[in-house]
Amino acid sequence: MKRPKSKTPQAGFNGKKSPQSAGRKQEIQQPSSPVGGQAFAVKKMFRPLAPDLVIIFGFHAVLAALTANKRRILDLYVTQNSLPRIIDIARSKGLEPKIVEAKHLSAHLGQEAVHQGFLIEARPLPDADIFDIENKTGVILVLDQITDPHNVGAIVRTACAFGVDALIVTQRHSPNFSGVLAKIASGGLEHLLIVNVTNLARALEDLHARGYMIVGLDSQGDELISGLPLSTPLALVFGSEDRGLRRLTRENCDAIARLDLSGPIQSLNVSNACAAVLSQIKLILGKSPLGAS
């Protein structure tokens, strides 16, 4: 059971330094061709695709990666306009930002990426195991093959906001912990322990052995989450939006619960459901954050 290794990022190319003129800031060579030339120039700016390369973009995600000191930072790319927000922190970490143009970041990451003029190339975080989980708040989250990076990124951010101890994900059928997921997590990847497991049913058995109460969440659950006699340590299990909780996952849960939704729609997006459940758990346990004493 290891911490999820970054899968191949969306984009990445061989990184070479742009030429510099004496006494002038680093500049990017202008492409000779508006289409092919620009694509070639962008390809030379960044590292190539690799399983051990993590791409982090967006100000908050980049700032968290720089300040958390939990992963190896390879290079920091910023636009000239964004440089003042990060230069002092970067240099305090021994990094000299590489100046690029916003259009090159967009070409590298995709035109829909909201990079805000910041990009980091880094190595994955160290692997983690279930036995690395420290019981601080007494609550962890478990994701049963949730594959959408937007949902998982939002769950990571929510988990950090509520002080969750850890997030357990499956090695297969989980998204890259890089790129858009890191952006949506808004720095949460640097603060939340993430445990990658190959066999979720066995992982739940291990949690039982450590004294965890395990509650699966399902819109068709038999009981309301607000009506359960909850105790910590507590593991909350969320299934994918298309298939929900798998059979073996259900069998390893102490209860299958649902939210009390009074409106005409009786289900929520999984990341929204996670936030709603954690809000109720905090009220039920009567402590803040969550189950912390």
Give the model confidence (pLDDT) of 89-110 as tens digits.
999 999 999 999 999 999 999 9
Reported as a single tens digit per residue, the pLDDT across 77-91 is: 999 999 999 999 999
Percent of the chain exceeding pLDDT 70 equals 84
pLDDT digit string, tens, across residues 169-180? 999 899 999 999
109 plus 136 within the same structural domain:
no
Q: Is the predicted pLDDT of residue 285 greater than 90, yes or no?
A: no
Specify whether 162 is located in the same domain as 281: yes
- Same domain? 43 vs 64: yes
Number of CB atoms found within 10 A of residue 85's CB: 16
Predicted pLDDT at 9:
46
Between 42 and 50, name the one with better pLDDT. Answer: 50
Identify the domain boundary among 126, 145, 180: 126
- Residue 112's pLDDT is 87
Q: Are residues 61 and 17 in the same domain?
A: yes
Cα atoms in the 13 Å half-sphere on the side-chain side of 243: 12
Is pLDDT above 70 for 35? no
| Whether 141 and 187 share a structural domain | yes
Q: Domain check: are 78 and 91 in the same one? A: yes
- With respect to residue 193, please indicate whether it lies within any of the assigned structural domains: yes
What's the domain range around 28? 1-126
Q: What are phi and psi of 42, to 5 degrees?
A: -65, -40
Q: For the chain, give the mean pLDDT.
A: 86
Asked if the model's pLDDT at residue 73 lies above 90, the reply is yes
The pLDDT score that the predictor gives to residue 4 is: 58
Quick one: DSSP state of residue 190?
Answer: G
Q: Is there a single domain that holds both residue 144 and residue 51?
A: no
Residue 166: pLDDT over 90? yes
DSSP string covering 63-118: HHHHHH--S-EEEEEE-TTTGGGTHHHHHHTT--PEE--HHHHHHHH-TT---TTE
Residue 293 is assigned to a structural domain of this protein: no
Q: Which of 74, 109, 126 is the last residue of a domain?
A: 126
55 assigned to some structural domain? yes
For 212-230, letters b (16+ CB in 10 Å) and e give bbbbbbbeebeeebeebeb
- Per-residue pLDDT for 20 more than 90? no
The CATH number covering residue 3 comes to: 3.30.1330.30
The total of structural domains in the chain comes to: 2
Are β-strands 118-122 and 73-78 bridged in parallel, bridged antiparallel, or unpaired?
A: antiparallel
Query: pLDDT band at 132, cuts 50/70/90?
Result: very high
| pLDDT tops 90 at residue 206 | yes
pLDDT of res. 284: 87
What gap in Å lies between CA 177 and CA 222, rounded to an integer?
Answer: 33
Determine what percent of the chain is predicted with pLDDT higher than 90. Answer: 71
Q: Which pLDDT score, from 0 to 100, does residue 39 have?
A: 64
Q: Within the chain, what is the greatest distance between any pair of CA atoms?
A: 71
Q: Any idea what the Cα angle at residue 166 is, between residues 164 and 172, rounded to 5°?
A: 135
Q: Are residues 117 and 137 in the same domain?
A: no
CATH number of domain containing 156: 3.40.1280.10
